[in-house]
With several copies, the nearest count.
Chain A
Amino acid sequence: MSVFIDRSDRVLVQGITGGEGTFWTKHMRDLGTDVVAGVTPGKEGQSVEGVPVYHTVRRAVAEHPADAAMLFVPPRFTKDAVLEALDAGIRKVVTIADGIPLHEALEIRAAARSCGARVVGGNTSGVISPGRAMMGMFPYWIERVYRPGRIGVMTRSGSLTNEVTAMIVRAGFGVSSLLGVGGDSVPGTRFAEFLPDFQADSGTDAVVVIGELGGTMEEEVAEAIESGVFCKPLVAFLGGRNAPAGKRMGHAGAIVTGGKGTVEGKAAALKRAGAAVADRPRAVGDLLREILGDPAHS
């Protein structure tokens, strides 16, 4: 079992003939993903890495039923591409686009919610269930860092996730599924919305949340724990503890405004709910060992 994607998912790649689309399609296939078709308007009849290309998503899924769409589409065309995937009946979408206009991000999330779909991203490396499947931009070597295992990971960051996951692996654990919800202020799917999946996933023993200042996603995780939606152990690491108010720390979503969205408040909420909060990357591994025991002995 895994969360969001698995080997059994049939994945469509929108924007497959572009440089990124072609490059990462190969990686996705090599990491086990079943890429069934690609879409680039005007390029029907071509093929990329052996994957047939169609003009539109509707034409592609008519020939190759698909569950999930991976978008390598520029930010300003992302809304259209997401709506096209949803209109064709696809209910899982990942978009790596960095720079989706804010109002369009709202429309993307609203459209997904209204039809019960999930859009992951933008501004993310994507999702990976190591050893099974990947949608996004995780290169081959990443499997050495994201070793297959039983820890679920959710994150707003890219490089920081490598940093933290390396600590999880150093502590002797591995990753079941990693979901990058992305660094934007309006991600398509929010941390708390994946918690029921991790709760149901028999392959996940605990979840690590890599959050940061800004927004309310970490507080929602605390609420989900308190409401009993999620009962497995949860360890959070939160970036931006010392960030000055009013300065946007790189990610569009990483800003404290008017006293809202501080790491202090988030950490307090999570601790109140019973989650463990790591004060530095290395502590994530330490806390997991405290909670789950030494994985070498289990």
Chain B
Amino acid sequence: MKLHEHEAKDVFKAEGIPVPRSVLATDPEGVARAAREAGFPCVLKSQVLRGGRGKAGLIKLVRSEPEARDTAAALFASPHGVRRILVEEAVDIDRELYLSITVDPAAAEAVVLACSEGGVEIEDLAARSPEKIVRERVPLAEGLSPYRARNVAYALGLSGDAAKKTAGILEALWRVFRKNDAELAEINPLFLTKGGGVVAGDGKLAIDDNSLFRHPGREPGRDYYDSDAAFEAAAEGIPYLQFDGDISLMCAGAGLTTVVYDLIVDEGGSVANYLEFGGPNYKKAVRAMELCLKNEPKVILIVTFGTIARADVMAEGIADAVKRLAPKCPIVACIRGTGEEKAVETLRSLGLDPLFDTEEAVRKAVALAAAARGSGAAPGAGGSK
């Protein structure tokens, strides 16, 4: 779970990392007021969870109160779903650095990545000039010892006070990383100011979803999701991704669902949503189909090959869902695995024609979707007969 910049900076600040003075505002008038207090010029930063906010025009320098008000109004009205703007004092920047801590799965350690060029996309840099990236491994049992922080600071070419302060910030960033069970804790850019200060210009903090139980109050709200369906699916614990195509996937198994997605695209189809109701969710067919129907898909494609997630149970759930929700679009079902024979019976009794080959199912779904697009209307339930 990614935190918003202002949330990440609150965490940073509490751990002793200097951040610019700032106020969070939720409407143009609030932004104007906050800007007046911050002094001009100051920076309006849209609080949205996406990279490249600068390039996308979501971060703006303003020089007067009217400009702040107008710019804020434009940002709130943009199609990026801006709900909050962080109004931040402008910092007198001398240099910018990049600093982050993430995990290295192969080494079974954490790793510091740093660069004496701040503001860059680290992945671009890794591809372009990997030699510019300073790496420092951090075994969890040892932690980020002071000497490792110094290794990084001096490898960045810093000296004197800047080196000491940067090392101190890195040690604090480590505490942030550990205390928050982070996947990523990143400061990009880290400003070295003309006055000799070191200040976090931006803040990224991604908390491991599997560790959220240790961080009550951090549950993601509606604005973390790009659709109501995605938000509701998350509340159910159902893996769900929102797309804008016309075939709703209602599959079991993350790997299999991903491959079904691949095959649909290969066949020229388009996906309305990725939805995976396997594992602990294999009895939630009704809820899953409800979520799919929110997208008004042209086809629902069900593909499973379950061992623990029993085919017969899933088929019964689907039967229940069809009866209760009476979907108007056709359903293509390909259900294999434990209890397969019984599942086939159940599906047939629904009037469906169960398939046994994933590729065949995908082709049929794509064809049905194309036909529905052509006719301008979806056939009725059981239309796959």
Contact assessment for A110 and B109 in the assembled complex, using a CB-CB cutoff below 8 Å: yes
Is B47 an interface position by the 8 A CB rule? no
Point out which of A56, A142, A250 has the most chain B C-beta atoms below 10 A from its C-beta: A250
Residues of the A chain whose Cβ atoms lie less than 8 Å from the Cβ of B256:
157-160, 162-163, 239
Is B106 an interface position by the 8 A CB rule? yes
Contact assessment for A161 and B255 in the assembled complex, using a CB-CB cutoff below 8 Å: yes
> In the complex, which residues 171-213 of chain B have their Cβ closer than 8 Å to any Cβ of chain A?
178, 181, 183, 208-211, 213
Residues of the B chain whose Cβ atoms lie less than 8 Å from the Cβ of A163:
256, 259, 305, 358
Residues of the A chain whose Cβ atoms lie less than 8 Å from the Cβ of B178:
103
Residues of the A chain whose Cβ atoms lie less than 8 Å from the Cβ of B139:
110
Q: How far is the CA of A113 from the CA of B140 in the complex (A)?
A: 13
A103 is contacted by which of B121, B208, B262, B338 (Cβ under 8 Å)? B208
User: With A110-B140, A125-B307, A139-B308 known to touch, is A213 a contact of B258 (CB < 8 Å)?
Assistant: yes
Contact assessment for B211 and A156 in the assembled complex, using a CB-CB cutoff below 8 Å: no
B209 shortest CB reach to chain A, Å:
7
Contact assessment for A243 and B261 in the assembled complex, using a CB-CB cutoff below 8 Å: yes
Contact assessment for B255 and A160 in the assembled complex, using a CB-CB cutoff below 8 Å: yes
Contact assessment for B127 and A110 in the assembled complex, using a CB-CB cutoff below 8 Å: no
Q: How far is the CA of A278 from the CA of B295 in the complex (A)?
A: 32
Q: How far is the CA of A240 from the CA of B263 in the complex (A)?
A: 10
Residues of the A chain whose Cβ atoms lie less than 8 Å from the Cβ of B257:
249-250
A42 shortest CB reach to chain B, Å:
7
A280 is contacted by which of B123, B209, B261, B359 (Cβ under 8 Å)? B359
Contact assessment for A80 and B123 in the assembled complex, using a CB-CB cutoff below 8 Å: no
Is A220 an interface position by the 8 A CB rule? yes
Contact assessment for A249 and B164 in the assembled complex, using a CB-CB cutoff below 8 Å: no
Is A260 an interface position by the 8 A CB rule? yes
Interface bracket on B? 35 or more
Is B105 an interface position by the 8 A CB rule? yes
Is A241 an interface position by the 8 A CB rule? yes
Residues of the B chain whose Cβ atoms lie less than 8 Å from the Cβ of A251:
254-255
User: With A139-B307, A159-B278 known to touch, is A250 a contact of B159 (CB < 8 Å)?
Assistant: no
| Stretch from A64-72, A93-101, A201-209 at the B interface | A93-101
Is A198 an interface position by the 8 A CB rule? no
Q: How far is the CA of A184 from the CA of B259 in the complex (A)?
A: 17
B106 is contacted by which of A157, A161, A190, A250 (Cβ under 8 Å)? A190
Contact assessment for A249 and B241 in the assembled complex, using a CB-CB cutoff below 8 Å: yes
* Chain A proximity mask over B141-171: 1 for CB below 8 Å, otherwise 0: 1100111101100100001100110000000
- Count of A-B contacts judged by CB separation below 8 Å: 208
> In the complex, which residues 113-129 of chain B have their Cβ closer than 8 Å to any Cβ of chain A?
121-124, 126-127
Point out which of B121, B122, B145, B280 has the most chain A C-beta atoms below 10 A from its C-beta: B145
Contact assessment for A240 and B305 in the assembled complex, using a CB-CB cutoff below 8 Å: no
User: With A83-B147, A113-B108 known to touch, is A162 a contact of B336 (CB < 8 Å)?
Assistant: yes
Q: How far is the CA of A253 from the CA of B308 in the complex (A)?
A: 21
B102 shortest CB reach to chain A, Å:
10
Residues of the A chain whose Cβ atoms lie less than 8 Å from the Cβ of B208:
101-103
Contact assessment for A157 and B255 in the assembled complex, using a CB-CB cutoff below 8 Å: yes
Chain A residue with the shortest CB-CB distance to B212: A101
Is A187 an interface position by the 8 A CB rule? yes
Contact assessment for A160 and B108 in the assembled complex, using a CB-CB cutoff below 8 Å: no
Is B96 an interface position by the 8 A CB rule? no
Q: How far is the CA of A79 from the CA of B74 in the complex (A)?
A: 50
Contact assessment for B262 and A241 in the assembled complex, using a CB-CB cutoff below 8 Å: yes
Q: How far is the CA of A250 from the CA of B304 in the complex (A)?
A: 14
Is B266 an interface position by the 8 A CB rule? yes
Contact assessment for A99 and B359 in the assembled complex, using a CB-CB cutoff below 8 Å: no
User: With A139-B308, A158-B253 known to touch, is A239 a contact of B103 (CB < 8 Å)?
Assistant: no
Is A44 an interface position by the 8 A CB rule? yes
A212 is contacted by which of B110, B145, B258 (Cβ under 8 Å)? B258
Is B279 an interface position by the 8 A CB rule? yes
B209 is contacted by which of A58, A109, A241, A252 (Cβ under 8 Å)? A252
Is B306 an interface position by the 8 A CB rule? yes
A215 shortest CB reach to chain B, Å:
6
Q: How far is the CA of A104 from the CA of B109 in the complex (A)?
A: 11
Contact assessment for A137 and B147 in the assembled complex, using a CB-CB cutoff below 8 Å: no
Contact assessment for B276 and A257 in the assembled complex, using a CB-CB cutoff below 8 Å: no
Contact assessment for B254 and A250 in the assembled complex, using a CB-CB cutoff below 8 Å: yes
Is B41 an interface position by the 8 A CB rule? no
Is B62 an interface position by the 8 A CB rule? no
Q: How far is the CA of A251 from the CA of B124 in the complex (A)?
A: 25
User: With A42-B160, A260-B123 known to touch, is A138 a contact of B261 (CB < 8 Å)?
Assistant: no
Is A166 an interface position by the 8 A CB rule? yes
* Chain B proximity mask over A97-132: 1 for CB below 8 Å, otherwise 0: 011111100110111010000000000010000000
- What are 20 A-to-B residue pairs whose CB atoms are below 8 Å? A41-B150, A83-B145, A84-B145, A102-B103, A103-B140, A103-B181, A107-B140, A110-B108, A110-B139, A113-B108, A158-B255, A163-B256, A216-B106, A240-B259, A240-B261, A242-B262, A244-B243, A249-B241, A249-B258, A252-B209
Beyond contacts A57-B147, A101-B210, A106-B140: 11 other A-B pairs, Cβ-Cβ < 8 A, are A80-B145, A102-B183, A110-B139, A138-B307, A159-B305, A210-B255, A242-B265, A244-B243, A250-B253, A250-B276, A258-B123
